[in-house]
Structure formats: C-alpha cells, structure tokens
Amino acid sequence: MSHHLCDMPKREKDEIELIRTWTLPATVTMGSAVRANGVLQEIQARLPAISKKSISLEGVDLTLAMAANEKTAFNAAAAIVAKVVAEAGAMPVIPREIEDILTIKTSERHRWLADGRLPSAGTRTVRLNGRARQITFHVFDPKVVEDLLDRGAAEEWRVEDAEAKAEKRQRATYQAKLTRSLKKEAAKKSMTSEDGAKDSAPKLGGWEEFDVDGLLR
C-alpha cells in the first residue's frame, strides 16, 4: 500500500501535460477547413514519428500536447509547429484546397487551368502512402487564390462559361439549319437539272431502221 502511495505523485507528475496552442489566421486558411488540415499535415510530416500524434487541430486551433516528462521533445516539436505556422501563409495551395477555398468542382479547376484563367504556380510530385506510384499535380500561389476569392472570380467565370456555351449552342443550331437549307437547295437544283436533261435529251429511237437500211455499215 505504501509503495502505491509513493508511486502516485510520480504518475500524476507524468500525466501533467505540456500544452501549447496556435491559431491559424484567416490569411492562411482562407476560410477552408481543408487548407487548415493541410497545414496540420505539413506539421506532421516534419515532426519525428514519436511526436506526430501529439499535434491536433480543432477548427483553426492547433494544439500540441505532451506529458510533462517529455519537455525536450515538446520544445523541439513546438519549434517545428511555430515555424510551419509562420510559413503557412506562403505554402502553395494544392488542388483539393483550392476547390474548397473557391467552392469549385474538379472539372472547373481543370478547365480554368487549361484556358489560363487559373494560373499554375508549378507542379508538385508526391508518393502516395504505402504505394510505389507517384502523382504530379499543379499547385497555386496563395496570394493569387486569395485575390480570386476576394473578387468572386469563380462566379464570374461560371457566367462567362454559361454565355459561351449558349453562344456555341446558337452557332451550332444556326449551322445545322444552314446545312439543312443548303442540302434542300442542292436537292432542288439536282431535281431541276435532271428534269431539264430529260426534256432536252434527243429522241434516240429508230436506230433499228437505220441499221435495216444498212446505214450503220
């Protein structure tokens, strides 16, 4: 029993946590939970394996928590977290983040990237967890993304796309009508010329009579 009592303070001391919290500013998250989670993943990627689970995210708040007897590891991890948070504003925006920030579909991202409205800030290649396959994707400048968000560019582009689609449909309808009209016109001309050819064709009957008279010899 006395051994148990002597042991209690030590255990309680070990269970006292070292805690530090960082709040991600709006300039970093741009209102996106996906972007905030991206910052968490960047921190976890830089932390040693033993500390990866010590960092958590709730909303825009990052919390680092460790046992009191892990002060050295805690301070090292805290320095990494602070560094990533300080650099997060300049971190390239990855595809799933830009889709969440601008509330756009994957098909829209591909289309606007292809036509140049969504400027690429280069590409990044990553290896998927537990797989040999690598994937390469475009990343985006956070300042450009913030500007697009502020001026509601995605909504403007959707309107432009809808107008262009309607115009294309009108042109296609007009082209189809024109093609039908030309075909009808060509068919009429063809019939008229056939009728004319029948009328003007010489009567070629009576060759037999010529032949009988020996005129073809």
Q: What is the pLDDT of residues 136-190, one digit of tens each?
A: 999 999 999 999 999 999 999 999 999 999 998 988 889 888 888 888 888 887 7
**Number of structural domains in the chain:** 2
pLDDT of 61 strictly over 60: yes
Shared domain check, 137 and 104: yes
Shared domain check, 82 and 124: no
Rounded to the nearest 5 percent, the helix, strand and coil shares of the chain are: 65, 15, 20
Shared domain check, 139 and 110: yes
Shared domain check, 125 and 83: no
Neighbours of 127 (CB within 10 A): 10
Within a domain: 204:
no
Domain that holds residue 125: 95-152
Q: Residue 70's closest CA among 51, 94, 89?
A: 51
pLDDT of 33 strictly over 60: yes
Within a domain: 86:
yes
Dist. CA 119–CA 116, nearest whole Å: 6
Shared domain check, 147 and 132: yes
Shared domain check, 100 and 86: no
Shared domain check, 43 and 63: yes
Within a domain: 200:
no
Q: Which one-letter amino acid corresponds to residue 124?
A: R
Within a domain: 43:
yes
Shared domain check, 59 and 104: no
Place of tokens 């989670």: 37
Shared domain check, 40 and 73: yes
pLDDT tens digits for 78-137? 999 999 999 999 999 999 999 999 999 999 999 999 999 999 999 999 887 777 789 999
Residue 72 phi, psi dihedral angles, 5° rounding: -65, -45
Q: Residue 98's closest CA among 140, 126, 135?
A: 140
